[in-house]
Structure 1
Amino acid sequence: MNDVLYYIFLTTLSVEFLMGNFGNAFTVLVNIMDWLKWRKICFIDQILTTLAISRVALLFSLTASLFVSEKYPEIIITRKIMIQIFILWTVTNHFSIWLATCLSIFYFLKIANFSNSIFLHLKWRVKKIVLGTLFASLLILFLNILVVNTHIDLWIDRIEANTFFRVITSNNSEAAKLDLLTNSMFTLIPFTVTLTMFLLLIFSLWRHLKNMQYNMPGSKDISKAAHLKALQMVVTFLLLYSIYFLSLLFQFCDINYELKNSISLLFFITEAAFPSGHSYLLILGNTKLRQAFISMVWWLRCRFSDVEPRVL
């Protein structure tokens, strides 16, 4: 691989790591300060804060695994260490995706409008539905970890049987592929849930616009704006989610699976772009976070230009 291209990829990954952690840390900081000020925190802020924390953990797990593989390519990794590495990524990736899926469910139940009694029953219990979905995902996480652990054990046992050694090197492409394929299959579940929320939101908006043709416009325009805002949030999440999912599948198809290979590094950058970029989309889509972010940018601009900051 060309050295210039290699360092460009590493620089891009470093920028994604810094920007992603900054955006997620900003979300956590704003919500914690708001909680300390008012002694309470709304449910949506709880979801955003927990999601941001999981994204920070995911970025650290991704970057740490790449750093170890790049700086210490010949490091000896025991069975226990390898399992811990894969499980750490699996857990952080799980909560990053499922919390974002819960956010989509929250938007749908809060904004969509159907006269169906089942939907109304769910709408009145949105907090319980979201928490129930998150707790149910823990069962999927348990199954995911169990499958990954089984794959790694079988692979290491085969290595030990052939080499008579109790340790293996970081040349673990087969185990990594199995882990990626397993996680890709498990991420299909939250992806399907989010896609369903998106389609139902579109249907709800269509019914709302249809009803507006027979009624005087007024307060229902607020519902239209809420629908469009929720659709924007879900669509951007689905786009980033799709790119992230495809990057996992393409890495499985990469036969050589070498981190120094340009294609593999590109896929790694694509993976990191999901938790990094989505944090800023959430900031822009949330009124409180957006205003705090604009105030911070204005304050920094005034500080660097030696101008007295102005309160927005």
Structure 2
Amino acid sequence: MKKRMEFYFYQGMLALDVTGPLDVFQAANELLSRNGKGKGGYELTFSANAPGPVSTSSGLCLHADARPGMKKIDTLLVPGGMIAETASTDSTNSLNIQMAAQKARRVVSVCSGAFLLAAAGLLDGRKATTHWMVADRLAQLYPAVHLEQDSIYVQDGNTYTSAGVTAGIDLALALVEEDYGPSLAIEVARLLLLYRRRPGNQSQFSTTLALQAKVGKRFKPLFDWAEAHLDQKLTVDQLAEKAHMSSRTFARIFPSETGMSPGRFIEQLRIDRARELLESGVEGLEQIARESGFGREERLRRAFQRRLGISPAQYRAHFMKGEQHDQGSYIRDIHL
């Protein structure tokens, strides 16, 4: 029996938040059909407050078949977009999502679609994630949500949330694996030319870009200098000097403008450098610890466990999986 998947549409949503997961589920259908398992798979349906064309932020129009909550469904999927926070303030959207969720086995959001789930009360007391750019805003508006800002996707009970845009593809692949096993998920990734499927507890891989955005033009020279000297011991006094401030002023202004302490800033840069070294095939963890500025393997391991929830060895193993199965089997692209 096919699993009924309902995508909830609203004006101004991001097209890729719909089409990315949609193509994953359709690819699963095609593969199941080829393997003689046509009775399984997904029935893909599309709902909105009013049936008919719904414009995405890019101008692409998608068609909604019906109003939400009309039938029992397996999965409700709510996309995000730049307009998602505004859309979440529309009580009609909240009521529609609540009705559909009551008839769904599981509820999913992509990117900033988490705003709509939160507004509908579906994330209260639950762990969730969203795009790093709007994570602070979501936390501010919905303090009852236990936000995991770094994760690519998060499951809490029957509720699933994903980080920005194509992290929804990672989550869709995870749902296919949950429904039909890892072999089908691997074949879907191969069919769609995706390589290296990321697990949900991986951090959003855009953290370097996110840091650049946070530090802004004022601290851009400091950012560049710190990246070039991560293998050295970096003190607040040194950072302040490069920012052309006194240590006291720097210690006050940097957190207020970037939302993070100088220590957290440097640690994140070092974690990103260690990731790059792990992905590039550098073998020794002691060498990686030295080159990324952690100094010792134990400090590197503790930082990974604290910030990513996995060890450096586990991180490397996730990336090597794709080569063990097939170079075309897993997602590796750094997407938001």
Task: Judge same fold: TM > 0.5, yes or no.
Answer: no
The structure with higher relative contact order (CA 8 Å, sep 6+) is 1
Structure whose alpha-carbon radius of gyration is higher: 1
When you count helix as a share of all residues, which structure comes out higher?
1
The normalised TM-score by structure 2 is 0.27
When you count strand as a share of all residues, which structure comes out higher?
2
